[in-house]
Structure formats: structure tokens, C-alpha cells
Amino acid sequence: MSQAILSLNAGSSSIKFAIHDVADLGSGRRLAHGQIEGIGSTPHFVARDADGALLTEHRWPAGSRLAHEALLTPLLGWISSRLGTESLVAVGHRIVHGGATYAQPLLLTDAIVTDLARFIPLAPLHQPHNLAAVRAMRKLWPGVPQVGCFDTAFHHSIERTVTRLALPRRYAAEGIRRYGFHGLSYAYLAGRLRELEPALASGRVIAAHLGNGASLCAMHDGHSVDTTMGFTALDGLMMGTRCGSIDPGALLYLQQQYAMSAPELEHMLYHDSGLLGVSGISNDMRTLLASDDPHAREAVDLFVFRIAREAGALASSLGGVDGLVFSAGIGEHAPAIRAAVCARLAWLGIRFDAAANAADARVISTPDSRVQVRVIGTDEEVIIARQARAVVSPAPPREPLS
């Protein structure tokens, strides 16, 4: 049996996983992948092979309030029976927030896991669950190295001015600054674009990760120069249930006039806002696009407007745009959203190919478009696996140049 790496992406309501053969990390082909969804309500475990065929499935009774550890145990049992633990060389974990400290993937020790808990208030939707999975894995498989892979790390290339918040300077010294997220996805997209279109990859590209969480990243030569998320993953675009950028005065007003407490405000901004809040119907783009309710239309229009507006800001950060890449659930699967965003961004020099877009082609701009527009499926798990492999089996040191 060859060596394998398990990638874990533990969120509040789901744990996504993938298993890669170490010898086949370049292709991104997975030995198996799947998720446990419905954590906290009705957990449902599904595993599939590389071609998407069902390998196993298990549904817990409704109302099973099982925590991550209780759910990881059967997942690991299944992985062991399929692979044999001796073939597993590392587990890579998505860790959403690495702060200013963690700019590279690294081996997770108890001390580091404790230190990473500092960032829980900055990423309350993700960080506690990421760390719960690490703790559970260290207990269940103590002999297997656990590697932390940070969503913030890709944005360490952003220059200092761009990371600043215009607050009294003592707060910057305490780490209150912009960080940026979705870095594992952007690392994948930058690498994939380099394979698909090297000339474009070395230019100025805006990548749009449009999932439940959504952000844009301005990349120059594959490096992040600006991004829409900031100190927390609340900033920037409107999202499934998160508000995105908002006038801080509105928050003060809500606190003062509606006597909202900080926890109430936090809950509203993270869970009750965005597409769900504006539509009053759903956070799911499929539901909203299928609805003829005017509030659904309003939510979708605002989502598109905000993407175009933020893309305009990133175009300024880049000094122009050569490429636009759509990715994640909405970016990959919602041609209507891509069309509406590109219509608003026509001024950048986008000539949109409506037929290619409707056919879900990979390039959706015309050959004479000044900006090439592409759709690229993201794969955060393979980036986690590659980073974990690099940490547990670093490349041999280079001979010094003579």
C-alpha cells in the first residue's frame, strides 16, 4: 500500500475530508473523499471514490447532538479499514486563522493548538471547529503527525499599507489589522491557472471564491496583493448569512438604538444577514435563483452589485486587470451570477461569451476580450495534502550554488 495523506476541513456543521496518495499529489486525484454533514442535527456520513461512486454512507438518528470527536471516530474507523493506518503519513487540517504569526504550514503541537485558540473570537464560525478536529485527531491517532494549513497564510504577501485599519496605531501593534481568508482556495487557483494559462497567471488576476463564504483576491504573478476579507471573515462581499462590509456607524446605531448586545450583534452579522437576511427566504443561491419572490431577486442583485463594486476596488489595487476567475459553489455552478457580474464589469474590458457561459465552458470571455474570464473548480483539500506532505517530508536541501 502506498502512502496517503488525510485532509480535514472541519466546519460548524460539516467535516469535509479527502485522502490522497502521496505519489499522486500532482494530479490532485483523490483516493476517496466525502463529508459528514448535518453536525448538531442529523449527521450524515458519505464517502466516495475518485470517480464519485459511493463507497459508504451512514445516517445517524435525527437530533443526534454528536460533537466532532464522536463523529470523527467512525470516520477514522472507516479510513483505517480501507487504508490501514500504517499507510497514513500525515493529517492536514484547514485552520482558518493563523494571525500574523503563522505564515507557513507546520506540525501542530499541543502548545501551538493552545496558541491558535487565541484566534477563536476572530473566526468564531470556523476556528473552534478546526481546533476541535485537531484535538480529537491527536487523541484518536496520536502517532500520526497533524499539520496545520492556514487560510490566512496566502495573504502574507500583502503589503503593510493594505493590511492596515485606520484606527489608533496601538491597535495595529495588537494585531488588529486586515488578514484575508480563503487562502487555501486561492493558492489552488493560482497554481491551476499557472498550469492552464501561464502568461495570464503571471499577470493581474481577480479570483472570486463564491461559496457560502465569499471573497475576492487580487493576485499579481500568483501572489495576493489585496483581498476583500479583512480582520475577520465577515468583511467584504455579501455572503450566504454574513453581511460583508458595512458602515461601522450602522453597528453603533444598532447597539445604541436597539440595545443590541455584542453577542446578539455577532449572531446577526454572521448568521442572519447576507443572502438569507436580505431575501428573508434562504442563504442558498439555488433557492433564490429559482424563486420569483421580489425579495429573492433583491438579494441576488445586491450580491452581484457587491461583487462588481469590490472587484472595481481590487482593479485599482492591481492597477488594471488581465484575468477574472470564478470559483466555489456559486462561481462554478451559477452561470446567471457570472453573467450578471461580467455585465457590470464590462467597463474593465470584458467581452463576455454568453453561449460559452451557458454551456459551463472553462473560458467564458471571447478571444478578443481584454480580460480573460475563466471558471476553475477549487480544491482546498489537495492544497492541504501538498502542504502537509511538504511539512512531514521536506524536500532534500539543495546543493549550495558554486
Q: By the criterion CB under 6 A, which residues form the site for ligand ADP?
A: 211-213, 240, 284-286, 289, 328-330, 333-334
Q: In the complex with ligand ADP, which residue's Cβ is closer, 333 or 351?
A: 333
In the complex, the smallest distance separating the C-beta of residue 174 from ligand ADP, rounded to whole angstroms, is 30
In the complex, the smallest distance separating the C-beta of residue 330 from ligand ADP, rounded to whole angstroms, is 4
In one-letter notation, the amino acid at residue 210 is: L
In the complex, the smallest distance separating the C-beta of residue 314 from ligand ADP, rounded to whole angstroms, is 20
Active-site residue, from 21, 151, 226, 322: 151
Pairing of strands 15-21, 30-37: antiparallel
Q: In the complex with ligand ADP, which residue's Cβ is closer, 12 or 85?
A: 12
In the complex, the smallest distance separating the C-beta of residue 255 from ligand ADP, rounded to whole angstroms, is 29
In the complex, the smallest distance separating the C-beta of residue 85 from ligand ADP, rounded to whole angstroms, is 28
In the complex, the smallest distance separating the C-beta of residue 397 from ligand ADP, rounded to whole angstroms, is 38
The DSSP secondary structure of 283-323, one letter per residue, reads S-HHHHHH---HHHHHHHHHHHHHHHHHHHHHHHHHTS-SE
What whole-number distance in Å separates Cα of residue 142 and Cα of residue 73?
13
In the complex, the smallest distance separating the C-beta of residue 39 from ligand ADP, rounded to whole angstroms, is 13
What whole-number distance in Å separates Cα of residue 369 and Cα of residue 348?
10
Q: In the complex with ligand ADP, which residue's Cβ is closer, 124 or 329?
A: 329
- CB–CB of 72/45 below 8 Å? no
Phi (first) and psi of residue 229, to 5 degrees:
-80, 155
Length of the chain: 402
- Which residue's beta carbon is nearest to the bound ligand ADP? 329
The DSSP secondary structure of 114-166, one letter per residue, reads HHHGGGGGGSTTTHHHHHHHHHHHHHH-TTS-EEEEESSGGGGGS-HHHH--S
Radius of gyration of the chain (CA): 21
- CB–CB of 210/196 below 8 Å? no
Count the neighbouring beta carbons within 10 Å of the beta carbon of residue 341: 25
The residue behind cell 442535527 is: 41
List the strands of the sheet with 323-327, edge to edge.
223-227, 214-220, 204-210, 323-327, 372-375
Active site residue 151: yes
Q: In the complex with ligand ADP, which residue's Cβ is closer, 203 or 213?
A: 213
261's grid cell: 448586545
Which residues are paired to 150 by β-bridges?
Answer: 95
Q: In the complex with ligand ADP, which residue's Cβ is closer, 234 or 330?
A: 330
- Residue positions annotated with a catalytic role: 151
